[in-house]
């Protein structure tokens, strides 16, 4: 599994590392450009997510038609061009164009779908957790490196580094990523978006994914702007003192959260703890006049984000049926990118027309409602998987297979296997074989 997942996770992580590098300092840098206003700065911070939202589905469709690898390559080229334009921009509108182009290379859902193609069903949750973990590590590293590099060499240098990282991702794509197998899904009904949205657990995970990303961009608009404002009077070169401890503690919290959520099947509890920390972080960042308490708010935010990140994609993958995974992940990613844009824009509006106190209280209030909503989430049911050679299966019996403890079945055409997903406490392997074997 590791050899299949690591290269793809690496591609996504390199891309996110580039995007995250600028986040700690982007808002305060963008304010110095020609024609900048807090509202336009908010759009710049979250702008890449708007085009991500628009192009997620087209890129997914393209990957079905021309293949995953060519689609990922096209997305990385667009991301490379956006990074170069951002690096060369001298006014807010050119920077906005570059950020929009960065987001237009919307390969997130394609990479996730390719991981689903490559990895066996019973370890797919772990694969998604691994992908989320690498993204969380990229996030944490960027928070420590971005302010230091940006202060020393300038924010345009961060965009040039992002361009180099995208070239490195292209190299990994064509030298390390394997070709996925061909999977055939046979069901009584085709996938419908309405079916996904009607599933309460999938719908809750879509909300969780979107809220996490929306609050992320909101935080990255206000953290550098407030710390360098007249309230705290930090220098740009001092921002690392807030981000580095937050990065370290976020990484420390990520491991136990992933183990508790995955191994002990308690993701709901991790999500609730994380949301409570989000509430505390925005109250501190919005209301305090103490630098120490503000930094504690930043640390609380980082811990919350990193605790959630390894689990979100994994839980969506677990709750969705095989034929729904691509669509469910696509909807979840599209919504999360839309909320990323909304979060950045909303923060810009608040800072333009109101103040950080109202922003902090509003964000905390929204997070509290999110906490109440998440109480409805259920932890996923643990399933077992039975693999039978396709030649040994009576297809007529398989098509008629129905049982309350059989979640689904599908065919791996590349390996000529029938895969049955079931609850072992309710039905045994021998009982399933008796129903479908010739």
* pLDDT mean over 14-29: 90
Segment holding 73, helix H or strand E: helix 68-88
SS3 225: helix
Q: What is the pLDDT of residue 358?
A: 93
For 256, counting Cβ atoms within 10 Å of its Cβ (0-12 exposed, 13-18 middle, 19+ buried), the class is exposed
User: Which residue would you say has higher pLDDT here, 322 or 392?
Assistant: 392
**Dihedral through CA 303, CA 197, CA 5, CA 83, nearest 10?**
-70
Q: What is the pLDDT of residue 124?
A: 64
Domain 384-436 annotated CATH 3.30.70: yes
* pLDDT mean over 15-36: 91
Q: Sheet containing 183-184: give its strands across.
A: 183-184, 406-412, 417-422, 384-389
Q: What is the pLDDT of residue 127?
A: 76
* pLDDT mean over 186-212: 80
Specify whether the CB–CB gap between 326 and 334 falls below 8 A.
Answer: no
* pLDDT mean over 369-375: 95
**204-208, 215-219, 315-319: least confident range:** 315-319
Q: What is the pLDDT of residue 326?
A: 67
CATH of domain 2-374: 1.20.1250.20
Which residues are paired to 406 by β-bridges? 422
Tokens for 314, please give them. Answer: 């994994």
DSSP annotation of 379: P
Residue of 244, 242, 245, 73 lying closest to 171 (CA atoms)? 73
* pLDDT mean over 388-397: 87
Instruction: Please state whether 341 falls in left (phi above 0), alpha (psi between -120 and 50) or beta.
Output: alpha
**236-245, 281-290, 377-386, 404-413: least confident range:** 404-413
pLDDT in tens, 136-175: 788 778 888 898 899 889 999 999 999 999 999 999 999 9
pLDDT in tens, 247-287: 889 888 988 998 888 888 899 999 999 999 999 999 999 99
- If pLDDT is split at 50, 70 and 90, which confidence band does 97 have? very high
pLDDT in tens, 380-389: 887 788 889 8
Which residues are paired to 410 by β-bridges? 419
Q: Is the pLDDT of residue 183 over 60?
A: no
Q: Is the pLDDT of residue 347 over 80?
A: yes
User: Mean pLDDT, the chain, as a whole number?
Assistant: 87
Which residues are paired to 385 by β-bridges? 421
Taking the C-alpha atoms of residue 26 and residue 430, their distance in angstroms, rounded to an integer, is: 59
CA distances from 282 to 236, 271, 370 (A): 21, 17, 14
Q: Is the pLDDT of residue 317 over 50?
A: yes
Q: Which residues contact 361 (CB under 8 A, 6 or more apart)?
A: 282, 283, 286, 287
- If pLDDT is split at 50, 70 and 90, which confidence band does 190 have? low
Distance of CA 19 to the CA centre of its chain: 12
Q: Degrees (nearest 5) of the Cα angle 323, 326, 329? A: 125
Q: What is the pLDDT of residue 99?
A: 94
Q: What is the pLDDT of residue 3?
A: 76
Specify whether the CB–CB gap between 228 and 351 falls below 8 A.
Answer: no
pLDDT in tens, 58-82: 887 788 678 788 999 999 999 999 9
Sorted by where each begins, the domain ranges of the chain are 2-374, 384-436
């Amino acid at each position: 599994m590791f050899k299949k997942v690591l290269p793809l996770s690496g591609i996504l992580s390199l891309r996110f590392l580039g995007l995250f590098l600028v986040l700690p300092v982007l808002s305060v840098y963008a304010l110095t450009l020609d024609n900048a206003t807090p509202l336009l700065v908010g759009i710049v911070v979250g702008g890449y997510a708007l085009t991500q939202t628009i192009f997620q589905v087209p890129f997914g469709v393209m990957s079905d038609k021309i293949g995953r690898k060519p689609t990922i390559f096209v997305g990385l080229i667009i991301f490379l061009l956006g990074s170069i334009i951002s690096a060369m921009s001298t006014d807010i509108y050119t920077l906005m164009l570059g950020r929009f182009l960065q987001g237009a290379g919307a390969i997130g859902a394609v990479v996730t779908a390719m991981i689903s193609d490559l990895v066996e069903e019973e370890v797919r949750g772990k694969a998604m957790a691994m992908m989320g973990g690498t993204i969380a590590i990229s996030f944490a590293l960027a928070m420590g490196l971005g302010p230091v590099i940006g202060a020393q060499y300038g924010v345009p240098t961060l965009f040039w580094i992002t361009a180099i990282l995208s070239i490195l991702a292209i190299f990994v794509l064509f030298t390390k990523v394997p070709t996925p197998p061909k999977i055939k899904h046979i069901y009584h009904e085709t996938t419908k978006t309405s079916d996904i949205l009607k599933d309460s657990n999938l719908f809750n995970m879509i909300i969780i994914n979107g809220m996490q990303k929306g609050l992320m961009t909101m935080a990255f608009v206000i953290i550098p702007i407030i710390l360098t404002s007249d309230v705290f009077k930090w220098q740009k070169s001092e921002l690392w003192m807030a981000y580095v401890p937050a990065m370290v503690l976020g990484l420390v919290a990520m491991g136990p959260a992933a183990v508790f959520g995955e191994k002990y099947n308690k993701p709901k509890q991790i999500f609730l703890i994380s949301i409570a920390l989000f509430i505390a972080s925005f109250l501190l960042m919005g209301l305090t006049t103490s630098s120490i308490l503000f930094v504690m708010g930043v640390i609380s935010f980082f811990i919350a984000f990193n605790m959630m990140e390894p689990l979100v994609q994994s839980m969506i993958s677990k709750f969705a049926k095989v034929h729904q995974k691509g669509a469910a992940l696509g909807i979840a990613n599209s919504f999360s990118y839309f909320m990323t844009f909304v979060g950045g824009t909303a923060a810009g509006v608040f800072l333009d027309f109101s103040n950080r106190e109202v922003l902090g209280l509003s964000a905390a209030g929204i997070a509290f409602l999110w906490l109440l909503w998440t109480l409805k989430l259920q932890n996923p049911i643990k399933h077992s998987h039975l693999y039978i050679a396709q030649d040994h299966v009576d297809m007529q019996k398989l098509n008629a297979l129905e049982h309350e403890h059989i979640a689904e079945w599908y065919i791996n055409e590349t390996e000529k296997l029938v895969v049955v997903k079931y609850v072992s406490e309710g039905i045994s392997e021998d009982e399933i074989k008796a129903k479908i074997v010739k």
